[in-house]
Amino acid sequence: MSYSLTIIGSASGQPVPDRAHASLALHRPGEIHLLDAGEGACSALLRWGLDPLAVKSIFITHTHPDHCVGIFMILQYMHMKEHPGPVIIYLPESAITPFQTILNQFYLVPDQINTEYLLLPLNHRHELNDTWLLETFPTQHLKTWEELRIPGVGAQAYAFRVSSSEHSLFYSGDISDFGDIAKAVNKDDLLILEGAHIDVDKVLNWALKTGLRRLVLTHILPGSVSVDAIKISSAQVRGLEILVAQDGMTLSF
């Protein structure tokens, strides 16, 4: 059975009036897995006709707020709807203890709310179900934080690939530069690439060499990348379908 992917949040780290923050919903009937859950993720699920109670797992690439603060309202919604869960939330390992503290402060205390949830560390591989496998790839997005070595402040950030025997999707999360993930992406992946930390020409040159067929640019800072320029450049890369993400955009793969 194939999945659909709905981009429920395509904004960058800068709030804008008409988009939710980073979140992708991988779904089939009765089952949703979220890749990131930025601000507005719960209301965005409802806006695009997806039931938040169907969320089985949430995978967070890194804990910048535009990628993770939607978790709280998803849990609050589940609690208010008396949903038993469980929902499993995968985070960079260093974020688990601080996240539990924040959840407690928000009165989303385990065993005190209606919904069972688990916070677990991201590993190399996670089986979503009998068909789909999620793999994690570390990126350098937070490397300046690693150098600062502030106690209690982690520096882990990841990209994800979700694949079956026939199809695959690669989601960059946030990166420091396209070089972070260039070796990990396969030409057959549907590549969902953040547009806030990339050189578009470098990406298109790489796509030309590898034979990538589908690229979706998301997380674009307002005014930072000209959509028209992307489309003109992409016309030079034969066989590459390139799309600019919009909230509510659904792709089959």
* Residues of the shown chain interacting with Zn ion in the complex, contacts defined by CB under 5 A: 64, 174
Angle, helices 70-80/96-105, rounded to nearest 10 degrees: 50
For residues 88 and 56, is the Cβ–Cβ distance under 8 A?
A: yes
Instruction: Tell me if 251 sits within 8 A of 4, measured CB to CB.
Output: yes
- Nearest approach, Cβ of 115 to Zn ion (angstroms)? 27
Q: At its nearest, how many Å lie between Zn ion and the CB of residue 86?
A: 28
Tokens at residue 152, please?
């209690």
Report the residue number, 83 or 219, with the smaller CB distance to Zn ion. Answer: 219
Side by side, which strands form the sheet with 23-28? 117-121, 87-91, 55-59, 31-35, 23-28, 4-9, 249-252
Task: Quote the CA–CA distance of 224 and 206 in Å, as a whole number.
Answer: 20
Least distance in Å: CB of 228 to Zn ion?
Answer: 26
Minimum distance of Zn ion from residue 67's CB (angstroms): 6
The nearer residue to Zn ion, 13 or 248, going by C-beta atoms, is: 13
Nearer to Zn ion, 52 or 92 (CB): 92
Question: Between residues 64 and 161, which has the closer beta carbon with respect to Zn ion?
Answer: 64
